[in-house]
Structures are given as C-alpha cells and as structure tokens.
A and B are shown apart, each in its own frame.
Chain A
Amino acid sequence: MYFVGIDVGSLSTETVILDHAGAVVSYHISSTGANSRTAGEKSFAAALASGGIAQSEVNFTVATGYGRVSIPFADKTVTEITCHARGAVHLFPATQTIIDVGGQDSKVISVSQDGKVADFSMNDKCAAGTGRFLEVMARALEIGLDRMGPLSMRSTRDISISSMCTVFAESEVISLVARATPKEDILNAIHQSICNRLAPLMDAVGIRMEVTMTGGVAKNTGIVEKIREKVGGRINVPEEPQIVGALGAALIARDMSAHAQ
C-alpha cells in the first residue's frame, strides 16, 4: 500500500511515494512546462517506475502546488502552504517557521506546537525574488544555477541591485556585467535582493526558531546564508528541499487514508 504526493509548481513538478510506514520509497523531479496535467502524469509515472510500484498499489493521492486542480487522478487537493508545513515538520520536528521559496512565489509559514499552520504570508503581487528571478539572473550572468551559491560566497564588495522588477533587475545586472563588475559581487547582490524581498513576509508572520527552508531556491547556499544572517540563527535545509511540498502531500495522503478507514 502506497501514498502519493504530487506537487505541480510553476517551474517544476515533484512526486513523492511513501510506503505504509511513511518511508520515502521513490521520488521524481521534472520541469512543469506548459501543461500541468501532463507534467503531473509524467512525474507520477516516473516515480512509480523508479520505485517499481504499480498504480493499483497506490492507496491515496494528494495533489498540491499551483497546478493541483489539474491532476484528475488525485483523491484530494491541499494547498502547498499546508503541505510544506507538514513536510518540513516531518523532516525537522522542532521547526516553528518555514521559509519556502519556489518557482514563482515565496511564503513564510509559522507552525504551532502541534505542527499545524498557525499563520502564513505569501507574495501576492509579483514574482520578483523567487526561483524564476534567480533563473533569469543565472541566464544574464551565463552561469549554472548550482554555481550561484558557492560563487557568491567569494564576494568581497557589497553592491546593491535597486530594481524590484525582474525585467529591470536583469538590465541592471547586464549593465553591471558590462562594467566588468566581478560576478561574485553581482551574485551576492542578487541574493541580498531576494532576501530583502522576503523580509516583509518574515516580518508579517514573525520568525521563531527553528527555521526550515524549503523549495528549490533553498539549494542556493548563498541565499540560505543571507537568510541565516537576517534571522540570526541556524537554518535547517533538507537534503532535497525541492520535494518537501510533495512529501507533505504524501504524508497528508497517508493521514487521510487512515482517517477514511
């Protein structure tokens, strides 16, 4: 008997499969592309295949993420806010605050002692300061996403990027490159600007230790470091931060199936 969580985000889709004991037996990450339904189906099939599981063995499926409603075979949809909280608390039980920076939105979630969402705040206007922003900047700098973090750590000079808008910030970065500003300093500034965009969300909810970071952007060590400086304490980063939403969804699927029986 297996439980599935599928997180269809704006940039990437993840599937996590749990066994009856709640252990992860398989997971899969792929990019969403234009069609969230196809992305969900493909991701689900890939995760089943890599775990050697037949679809008939799946007991309950929860879909989450912005494309959650386009997964016809899901038994239930739950928002990514609830799922990230569930996943983060499962991985780091002492978590009280979750900072999730995904493809096009970021959220700060506060959980109560019993692991339930107590409050949250989410960017609701524009996608500056999210994964998409980082992608655009990586392209402008012609470096891989995975190199951004380590490189930024070598920055020796503080500069700042003043534009909030992704498009304007991109041209700001291009002109910095043209002026031969070292890439590490530009990256440092990009990371700082993402952290600045998160600050109002953090203030709205309030940061309580421990803090766990989830979402693909948590793979960027430079940003994690900036946030660590801002909150003034350790930040838990899961081994695979990108699947925390899907993990939470799978855990909820397991709970719901138990309830249904």
Chain B
Amino acid sequence: MSSELAARFHDAIENQEPRLRTLAAQGRRILGYFCTYTPVELIHASGFVPVRVMGGVRTLTKADTLAPSFLCPYMRAALDKALSGEYGFLSGIVQGYTCDAACGAVRIWERNIPGEIYHTIALPYCDSPSSRRFLLSEIDALTVKLRAIGGTFSEQSLADAIELYGKIRRLILKLYQIRYDERLSIQASDFLAIIQAGFMTPPEDYLRMLEDSAPITGPSVASERGGTRVLVSGSLVEDPKILDLIEESGGLIVADDLCTGIRNFEPVSGFGLDPIQRLIDRYMNRAPCPCRSRVSDRAPFIEHLLERSGAQGVIFLFQKYCTPHLADHPSLVEHFKAKEIPSIAVEMEETGVNEGQLRTRLEAFFEMLR
C-alpha cells in the first residue's frame, strides 16, 4: 500500500469546501459537530449530513476578538474559518457537551454565524440505568429539534445509519489491525488523512471510498518502514506535519489514542433491543476521553493499545490550553512512569509547532528509547 491509496482521501480533504457547497446547493442539509462524542448516527438518521468541523493550521484574522487565547487552537481556528465564511454550507451545529471550550464555542457560533440549529447534547459521565434514561431524554429532545427544521427521523432510518457507520468503523479498525501487525506501509500523516476525509465526506460516499481502497480490505504485505514504535495520545491532531516530524525523527507511529483516531471507531456499535437502545449503549461505552472519563479508565485503555501495537513509548500531543487533556497528563505520566513506559509531551498551537526545537526533543526521546 502506498500513499497513492491516500491520494483520494487527501483530495477529499482539500476539496471539502466546494464539494460540500455543491451538496448544500443540491438541497442536502449539512450539520456540523466538534466532538467525536456527538451521535452522528442520529443526525444522519434525521436526514442531515454530519460533518466534523475542523480548524486546521492558520493565522487567525477574525476570531481573535471573539475567542480569547485560552481557548484551544482547534476551537479558535474553527471559529475563524466559520467567521471567514468557509463553513457557509452548514445549517448549524450539534455538539456533544464535553469540554467547556467546545460548549462555549457553540454559543459564540450561534451569536455570530447564522444557522437553523445550535444545539448541545449533555452527555452522562458514567454508565447507570438512570444515566441511560437521561441520554434517552437528550436524544428525544434533539430528535424533536431536528424534526422542527425538517428532520425525518424514524427507527428504520436510525437502524440504517447505525449499520452504515458500523461498516465504516469496522473497515477502519481493520486498518488499525494492519497497522498493529506492522503491515501498513503508509506514513502516519496519510493514515490521518484517511480518517480526516471521513469527517467531511457523506458517510455513504466515504464507505465506498474505503471499500474501493482494496489494500484496506484485501491482504497486505509486511511493511518495510522502520523506527521506534510509539503511540500518540491527545485530542485532535489536525496538522499532519507533527506526525511527519515524529516519523522523520526516528519514530514509527503504530497506535493512537486521539479523537482524530481510534476514539471515533471504538466500539463499532452497541447492543440493545431497538436502534435507540443500541445507540445509547454505544455512546455509554465510548473509547475514553478525559472529558468524560477518569484516568483510571483511560490508563488501562492506553496500556491495552500499547500492548496490542508493541509501542515502546507515548507521545502526548496537546492542543494548547486543552484543559481536559492537560489535567489528565500528570496522573497519566505518574501511572506510566511506575510501569516504566516513557512519555513526552508536545504542545500544538494554531500556527503549528516550533520545528527545530521539537526535532531535538523527539530525536532525543527516540535515542533514549533505543
């Protein structure tokens, strides 16, 4: 498998704006979301195309006065994009209530960018019968709101959406397995592109893209790529350059704990008697993120990924000021230190990273692991 495979996914990212604009002009309605904890199946089942809002690397020109610098670069850059009209194809935002930054940002969008719906779904922290009942009421409330703007939710459409997303997740998880087995020959930045393309492509089309990429589903050969095996952990990684830097400095990314990664795909779906119960079950059992889980749940999850992939160390990639992830960091480091798992942390800003210094830190980290 080469980066030829990734080319169409890169293309989907580069041309997202014109494509989605055309789609919107044809009458499809597109709803944005920030967090991977947003139940996209429900949005899709209501007849909308869910698209994950991204920020990208940019110098802010419009958002500075509205978004204080203590918001994460992701939220600031995304707002800047929206204020510059680059998200004109969106009919609104539906957001899972996760961190304060995202929740605050939804309100800033609502006040400044016209849209039909701005909605936040509160998500429970822990799994219990009462929290499941609570999530059910949140889902009902969203369905009603979506219906008010023309949503066409039905049990059948939800069942279909669950199946569609399930297929996508299964294919991507297969790709992960290939990566763990060291049979993946594309670099981490291409892997990221494959995943990111899914955020901005209608899921039916994305599924076709994945199915057409034979190497994902077909047999693959042992990879010749070398380097010290590492896992990257954090929230969003939007700038592929940071992943390239890691791999150019002597690392080989074999696993991730990112929300531009595994956090989207596990579990594939949930269990239950009807589609709504299955949806609830999946979102109650989501791969842990510090916004909704304790370190005691997340550390074993990461350790499991380390074992599965044979990664020797962890590279934390932080969005600057991302409070949930930064707050988890000291406990995670302590936990890993006790198990002699080395780690290093890198902070990312809107304008990217300080390359020279970062190369030195990364190279030294890999020299240490060797």
Residues of A in contact with B (beta carbons under 8 Å apart):
66, 78-82, 105, 116-120, 122, 124-125
Q: Is B148 an interface residue (CB 8 A)?
A: no
Residues A82 and B367 in contact in the complex (CB < 8 Å), given A119-B342, A124-B347, A124-B354: yes
Q: Is B222 an interface residue (CB 8 A)?
A: no
Question: Whole-angstrom distance from the CB of B349 to the nearest CB of chain A?
Answer: 10
A117 contacts B361, C-beta separation under 8 Å: no
Q: Is B244 an interface residue (CB 8 A)?
A: no
Q: 15 interchain pairs (CB within 8 A)?
A: A66-B357, A78-B367, A80-B364, A81-B360, A81-B364, A81-B367, A105-B357, A118-B368, A119-B368, A122-B357, A122-B360, A122-B361, A124-B346, A124-B347, A124-B358
CB closest chain-A residue, reference B353: A124
Contacts of A119 in B (CB 8 A): 342, 368
A79 contacts B354, C-beta separation under 8 Å: no
Q: Is B138 an interface residue (CB 8 A)?
A: no
Question: Whole-angstrom distance from the CB of B77 to the nearest CB of chain A?
Answer: 19
Give which listed residue, A79, A116, A117, A118, contacts B360 with CB less than 8 A. A79
Q: Is B328 an interface residue (CB 8 A)?
A: no
Q: Lowest 6 CB-CB distances: which A-B pairs, in order? A: A81-B364, A79-B364, A117-B368, A82-B367, A79-B363, A79-B360
Binary interface profile of B, 111-149, with partner A (CB < 8 Å = 1, else 0)? 000000000000000000000000000000000000000
Binary interface profile of B, 315-358, with partner A (CB < 8 Å = 1, else 0)? 00000000000000000000000000010001100000010111
Contacts of B354 in A (CB 8 A): 124-125
Contacts of B361 in A (CB 8 A): 122, 124
CB closest chain-B residue, reference A252: B367
CB closest chain-A residue, reference B366: A79
CB closest chain-A residue, reference B363: A79
CB closest chain-B residue, reference A65: B360
Given the complex of chains A and B, what is the CA–CA distance between A33 and B224 in angstroms? 41
Given the complex of chains A and B, what is the CA–CA distance between A246 and B368 in angstroms? 18
Contacts of B364 in A (CB 8 A): 79-82, 117, 120, 122
Question: Whole-angstrom distance from the CB of B227 to the nearest CB of chain A?
Answer: 16
Residues of B in contact with A (beta carbons under 8 Å apart):
342, 346-347, 354, 356-358, 360-361, 363-364, 367-368
Contacts of A79 in B (CB 8 A): 360, 363-364, 367
CB closest chain-A residue, reference B249: A79
Contacts of A82 in B (CB 8 A): 364, 367-368
Question: Whole-angstrom distance from the CB of B297 to the nearest CB of chain A?
Answer: 25
Question: Whole-angstrom distance from the CB of B275 to the nearest CB of chain A?
Answer: 48
Given the complex of chains A and B, what is the CA–CA distance between A120 and B365 in angstroms? 8
Residues A66 and B360 in contact in the complex (CB < 8 Å), given A119-B342, A124-B347: yes
B360 contacts A120, C-beta separation under 8 Å: no
Contacts of B347 in A (CB 8 A): 124
CB closest chain-A residue, reference B354: A124
Given the complex of chains A and B, what is the CA–CA distance between A6 and B342 in angstroms? 29
Contacts of A78 in B (CB 8 A): 367
Contacts of B357 in A (CB 8 A): 66, 105, 122, 124
Give which listed residue, B346, B356, B358, B367, contacts A117 with CB less than 8 A. B367
Given the complex of chains A and B, what is the CA–CA distance between A35 and B368 in angstroms? 29
Given the complex of chains A and B, what is the CA–CA distance between A122 and B367 in angstroms? 15
Question: Whole-angstrom distance from the CB of A121 to the nearest CB of chain B?
Answer: 9
Given the complex of chains A and B, what is the CA–CA distance between A254 and B238 in angstroms? 42
A120 contacts B368, C-beta separation under 8 Å: yes
Given the complex of chains A and B, what is the CA–CA distance between A241 and B357 in angstroms? 22
Question: Whole-angstrom distance from the CB of B248 to the nearest CB of chain A?
Answer: 11
A116 contacts B368, C-beta separation under 8 Å: yes
Given the complex of chains A and B, what is the CA–CA distance between A81 and B357 in angstroms? 12
Question: Whole-angstrom distance from the CB of B346 to the nearest CB of chain A?
Answer: 8
Given the complex of chains A and B, what is the CA–CA distance between A125 and B361 in angstroms? 12
Given the complex of chains A and B, what is the CA–CA distance between A82 and B356 in angstroms? 16
Contacts of A117 in B (CB 8 A): 364, 367-368
Question: Whole-angstrom distance from the CB of A221 to the nearest CB of chain B?
Answer: 28
Given the complex of chains A and B, what is the CA–CA distance between A124 and B318 in angstroms? 13
Question: Whole-angstrom distance from the CB of A165 to the nearest CB of chain B?
Answer: 16
Contacts of B367 in A (CB 8 A): 78-79, 81-82, 117
Contacts of B356 in A (CB 8 A): 66
Question: Whole-angstrom distance from the CB of B333 to the nearest CB of chain A?
Answer: 9
Residues A80 and B360 in contact in the complex (CB < 8 Å), given A119-B342, A124-B347: yes
Contacts of A120 in B (CB 8 A): 364, 368
Contacts of A116 in B (CB 8 A): 368
Contacts of A105 in B (CB 8 A): 357
Given the complex of chains A and B, what is the CA–CA distance between A125 and B360 in angstroms? 13
Given the complex of chains A and B, what is the CA–CA distance between A125 and B368 in angstroms? 22
CB closest chain-B residue, reference A117: B368
Q: Given A80-B360, A82-B368, A124-B357, 20 other A-B contacts at CB below 8 A?
A: A66-B356, A66-B357, A79-B360, A79-B363, A79-B364, A79-B367, A81-B364, A82-B367, A105-B357, A116-B368, A117-B364, A117-B367, A117-B368, A119-B342, A120-B364, A120-B368, A122-B357, A122-B364, A124-B354, A125-B354
